[in-house]
Structure 1
Amino acid sequence: MAEKDWIRQYFAPLAKAPGAAGLTDDTAEISKGYGPLIATVDAMVEGVHFFADDPVETIARKLVRVNVSDILGSGAVPREALLTLGWPQAGRNPGQIGTFADSFGTELDRWGILLAGGDTVMTPGGLFLSLTLTGECLGPAPVRRGGGKAGDDVWVTGEIGAARRGYLWKTQGLGEAGWLNALQVPELPPLEAAGLISAHASAAMDISDGLLGDLSSLAAASGLGAQIDLDQVPFAGGAASLEEMIDLSSWGDDYQLLFAAPPQAAGFIQDFGLRVTRIGRLAEGAGLVASHCGKPVNLPETLAFEHGRVGGPAARS
């Protein structure tokens, strides 16, 4: 099937944005919201961000979610999307395109996202995908990483390390098969998290490269250091040792939200109705200080997954 036929059959029916023009033009008109508009883009490459044998429907869902987490972490809600799809010339059944489109459309609907346009190409390599997503801020401006103040509490939503557990089961047969879904389709906080971030966070971001590394990045962007109590981190499935805590908090693919907020906001945050946990605070100085059982912890030199590594998920072991 020709690429234009893919668009007509599979993706034009999904293009519900007012400015999409049925995907018949080279440009799309992006709608203006009541609040400031922001945009993010994330790409996913076969063998780097997902395994070649992952079900194509989970790949579609993960593509949407890794972008949604960026929008939520800015105190905004997702609005319109542009999709780039690079489909392999060989090695994948063309019938999978329809399966991908169905799952992609369902995931867009889940988050209230309207497809506005995109591009499809054939590639001599593996499957390649990219999604550009706009968001509408719930406040007067997006919440940035660099707004934290010394003394702010540090919070996380949900659990940390579920994707790591899925990877260990996939590659080594360790743990339980049920964790695999967390690797293939990460669990995000609900849309309401955008309101929490907008109303109370001084600095925020999603956790994609590992809690420890991302906390270091947030603190550095704010010109500060950070302190984290590993005993307070909500590890998926718990953590039996310090070694396991460090492993789960430095691997990534969590896509939960990490944010700083003034201590006086703690009551509002805890009563917001979301699962949130206070794990540390921002402090004067630089760098990350961790503790376990009340004692300082010597952290490894590498605190986060580095996207430049060759081999993708295998490089995270």
Structure 2
Amino acid sequence: MAERDWIKHYFAPLAAAPGAAALSDDTALMASPGGPVVITTDALVEGVHFLAEDPIAGLAQKLVRVNVSDILSSGAEPLEALLTLGWPASRPERDLAAFAAAFGAELSAWGASLIGGDTVSSPAGLFLSLTLTGTCLGPEPIRRSGAKPGDDLWVTGEIGAARRGFLARAAGLDSPWTAYLRAPVLPPRAAAGLVAQLASAAMDVSDGLLGDALALAEASGCGAEIRLDHVPFAGGVTGQAEALDLATWGDDYQLLLAAAPSHRDLILSQAVSIGVQVSRIGRILPESGLVLLDQTGRVNLPETMAFEHGRIGMSATRP
């Protein structure tokens, strides 16, 4: 089947937005139904972010969700998507059909629609990239840079599920944790409203909780203090070393937000109403740097606090 036929058969039926022109043009008209629109993009590369044998439907889910988490953390709801697909000739068309079906279902679940993109042949494995827009629920997006000294630090969900999945797969174990590695479980779409209404700063936890918390604090011209024993680790932890490992590996795609202490009761009540777990794990400090504590006192910071995108050969440690 030719590229244009692929688009017509598999992806044009997903492009229901009026501005998509049924994927028949080289441009798409973005909708702006009320508030400002934010935009993000993320890519997944075979051998770096996933393995060739990983289920294709899970890749479609992960591609959408790693972008959705950025949109939610801006206090926005997913809107429209552009897909870039680098498809190897070695993959059968049934894989493409399965990807398209899962991709369309995942976009629909988040209230987003496909408006365009590009498909190319890939000589070196599967390459996936998604650009996603979102409608802000407030007058402007929530940025990393808005935190103030004294703000609480909160995180949604649990930290470390993907790391547990990676360790299980590396050990050749059949474990339910591997599902979290292949397709992260995000907070619900309604979490965007909580961020928009109550957060002073926010971002998603993608590269490791400790490193991302420091990034948020630095963007705000501040520092951060985290209570390691207050972090909700997936499966619990048996010691400090395990906690540090889970807090620095990443691929969690939960929301990290700073908010004024006066918002504590509202955050907790809204979290209950939308069905999302939230945990208060620390605070924003006026001085720069990261302070890490647990029930025994101050904890030495690990040498590496987050995934480093510039590192060569990450496929060996972080597929």
TM-score of the aligned structures, taking structure 1 as reference length: 0.97
1:6 equivalenced with 2:6 (yes/no): yes
Whole-angstrom distance in 1 between the partners of 2:32 and 2:293: 46
Counting only pairs closer than 5 Å after superposition, residues 1-317 of structure 1 correspond to structure 2 as 1-90=1-90, 92-173=91-172, 177-272=175-270, 273=272, 274-312=276-314, 314-316=316-318
Contact 1:48-1:310 at 8 Å conserved across structures:
no
Secondary structure of 1:304 counterpart? coil
Quick one: distance in 2 between partners of 1:309 and 1:33?
Answer: 40
Secondary structure of 2:65's aligned partner: helix
- TM-score, scaled relative to structure 2: 0.97
Question: How far, CA to CA, are the matches of 1:169 and 1:261 in structure 2?
Answer: 35
SS where residue 155 of structure 1 aligns? Answer: strand
Task: Give, as a single letter, the amino acid of the residue that structure 2 aligns with 1:71.
Answer: I
Instruction: Answer yes or no: is the 8 Å Cα contact 2:208–2:305 preserved in 1.
Output: yes
Mapped contact 2:85–2:118 kept (Cα < 8 A): yes
Residues in 1 aligned to 2:297 and 2:188: alpha-carbon distance in whole angstroms: 35
Q: Deviations over 1:69-124 (max 9, x none)?
A: 0000000000000000000123x222210010000001011001011011100011
Query: Aligned partners of 1:101 and 1:199: how far apart in 2?
Result: 35
Show CA shifts across 1:153-172 (max 9, x none). 00000000000000001112
Structure 1 pair 217–10 and aligned structure 2 pair: CA distance change class (3 A): same
Displacement over 6 Å in runs of 4+ = none
**How far is 1:5 from its partner?**
1.1
- Report the number of matched residues: 315
Hey, what's the Cα distance between the residues in 2 that align with 1:240 and 1:16? 49
CA positional deviation for 1:33: 2.0
Change in Cα spacing, 1:278 to 1:313, as seen in structure 2 (3 Å) is farther
- Mapped to 2, the partners of 1:312 and 1:53 lie a distance apart of 18
Query: d(CA) in 2 for partners of 1:200 and 1:304?
Result: 27
| 39 and 56 in structure 1: CA distance in 2 versus 1, 3 angstrom threshold | same
The question of whether the paired residues in 2 share the 8 Å contact of 1:169 and 1:180 is answered with: yes
Q: Percent identity?
A: 61
Contact 2:49 2:318 in 1 (8 A): no
- 2:254 maps to amino acid: Q
